[in-house]
Amino acid sequence: MASQGIKRIGLLTGGGDCPGLNAVIRAVTKTAIMNHGVQVIGIEDGFLGLVQNRIHELLPEHVSGILTVGGTILGTSNKCNPSRYCTGMDDRGQPVFKDVTDRCMDHLQHWRLDALVVIGGDGTMSCAKDFVRRGVNCIGVPKTIDNDLIGTDITFGFQTAVETATCAIDRIHTTAASHHRVMVVEVMGRNAGWIALHAGVASGSDIILLPEIPFDYGVICDFIAQRHRHHRSCTIACVSEGARPVGGKQIVNHHDPTSPDPVRLGGIGKIVADEIERRTGAESRVTVLGHVQRGGTPIHSDRLLGTRFGYQAIELLMSGVRNRLVVMRNHKVTDIDLLDAADKQRLVSLDDPLIAAARAVGTCFGDAPGE
């Protein structure tokens, strides 16, 4: 039965979609209703649905059969921050922003919501921060394929994205070998190199370029030349979209001025491939995996993690705690202060054991270790 005065909770998914979201929605909804007698109210398209009052009740039958389905049945948005909501464009074509948090609070009151379960990454937790400060009890569930949320060793969605990227690079190996080419594969990750590091090592990529380790074209090209001297006829490079050369900047694909996070990275893969071909003469090609990393059926580990996180979110809420983020630390599901994860990113540490292991088997990170 319901305790701590919790009778109705809101549930939303914010930020980019990823595999495993529906596993969390299912676990939250069924645990709340079947174990505690709590009503679950689904909010459509993240905080955008809260602004626009697009809200409806979720029942167990609505979430049955969705465990294996990618995406989110609630929809999501990575553009809406209620404290800085874009209402349109001015005469100069510039976005006009307005704080509509009061409107959201009115909708929360109308639906008589006692708490919010917010599923998302650092941007979603930053939005939740404003509601916490207004007295709303928010329980966060960490979601992002980038694996860059502070406080948790892993986020759901990451492992499926790595599996997708790894399988793609595996397929590229055969065409690289057949044509004796340098094949550059650009993966997602924003400012964090987790996807590139894990997919690069898992696929046996010869070169891995991370945002955390600025690279030197001279080091990369010398490495490729050495491979050719040892009759290695092809080279695979896994490049994070946030990678940059020493002294250079990240490559911005475009800006979206209406978004709370306006910078969209992308394009470094082609630049790297073109520069390698120019310097070495080796035929080079680039493949940008893009949003294929977000889509599709979640692998078993993300289904399990999403289920554990969703269950824990409700158990925390019903225990009487406030404003906590469910996290995985040292293989144990626990929780931290939600505000500790807002406006921050978890990057790859330069002393990460996986980097050391990759270097030991001859992987090039575009730098000169020890200098």
* 154 phi, psi to nearest 5 deg: -155, 150
- Residues 69-91: tens digit of each pLDDT: 999 999 999 889 999 999 888 88
Where is the domain boundary, 257, 276, 294?
Answer: 294
CATH code for the domain of 172: 3.40.50.460
Average per-residue pLDDT for the chain: 94
Q: Is residue 1 part of a domain?
A: no
Query: Is residue 37 domain-shared with residue 106, that is, in the same domain?
Result: yes
Residue 91: CB atoms within 10 A of its CB come to 5
Position 107, amino acid: H
| Residue 364 pLDDT grade (very low, low, confident, very high; cuts 50, 70, 90) | very high
Whether 352 is in a domain gets the answer no
pLDDT of residue 228: 85
Quote the pLDDT of residue 370.
60
- Are 303 and 258 in the same domain? no
Residue pair 201/354 in contact by the 8 Å Cβ criterion: yes
Most confident residue range from 19-33, 116-130, 258-272: 19-33
Looking at the structure, do residues 118 and 169 belong to the same domain, yes or no? Answer: no
Burial classification of residue 126, based on how many CB atoms lie within 10 Å of its CB (0-12 exposed, 13-18 middle, 19 or more buried):
buried
CB-facing half-sphere around the CA of 95: CA atoms within 13 A: 15
Are 13 and 151 part of one and the same domain?
yes
* 60 falls within a domain: yes
Residue 347 covered by a domain: no
What residue has token string 């914010």?
A: 14
* Separation between Cα atoms, residue 70 and residue 275, nearest integer Å: 37
Same domain, 208 and 138: no
Residues 175 and 63 grouped into a single domain: no
Size of the chain, expressed as the number of residues it contains = 371
Domain contains 368: no
pLDDT the model gives residue 1: 40
Domain shared by 193 and 133, yes or no: no
Identify the pLDDT of residue 343: 81
Whole-number CA gyration radius for the chain: 22
Residue type, 126: S
CATH code where residue 305 lies: 3.40.50.450
**Could you tell me what percent of the chain has a pLDDT over 70?**
98
42: in domain: yes
Q: Determine the Cα–Cα distance for residues 182 and 341; give it in Å rounded to an integer.
A: 39
Q: Provide the domain limits for residue 288.
A: 161-294
Whether 47 has a pLDDT exceeding 50, the answer reads yes
What does DSSP say about strands 263-265 and 332-337: parallel, antiparallel, or unpaired?
A: unpaired
Strands 284-288 vs 39-43: parallel, antiparallel or unpaired? unpaired
Report how far residue 26's alpha carbon sits from residue 309's, in angstroms, rounded to the nearest whole number: 11
Q: Do residues 200 and 258 both lie within one domain?
A: yes
Q: Give the number of domains in the chain.
A: 2
Statement to judge: residues 177 and 144 lie in one domain? no
In 3D space, the residue among 42, 51, 78, 131 whose CA is nearest the CA of residue 256 turns out to be: 78
pLDDT at 3: 53
Report whether pLDDT(4) > 80.
Answer: no
Task: Return d(Cα 208, Cα 302) in angstroms, integer.
Answer: 24
Looking at the domain assignment, is residue 131 inside a domain?
Answer: yes
Point out which residues pair with 287 in neighbouring strands.
185
pTM for this predicted structure? 0.94
Q: Give the residue ranges of DSSP H helices in the chain.
A: 21-30, 36, 47-52, 60-63, 101-110, 122-132, 158-179, 194-202, 217-229, 268-280, 300-319, 353-360
**Contact (Cβ atoms closer than 8 angstroms) between residue 129 and residue 338:** yes
Same domain, yes or no: 140 and 18? yes
DSSP string, 124-151: HHHHHHHHHTTT--EEEEEB-TT---TT
CB atoms within 10 A of CB 344: 14
For residue 348, being part of any structural domain is answered with: no
Residues 340-355 pLDDT 10s: 988 889 999 999 999 9
Residue 280 shares a structural domain with residue 262: yes
Which pLDDT score is estimated for 218? 96
pLDDT band at 215 (very low <50, low <70, confident <90, very high): very high
Structure-block tokens of residue 77? 């948005």
313, 310, 329, 325: which is closest to 128 by C-alpha?
325
pLDDT above 90 for 281: yes
Residue of higher predicted confidence among 275 and 5: 275
Judgement on whether residues 269 and 282 belong to the same structural domain of the protein: yes
Q: Mind telling me the catalytic residues?
A: 146
CA 157, CA 306: separation in Å to the nearest integer? 9
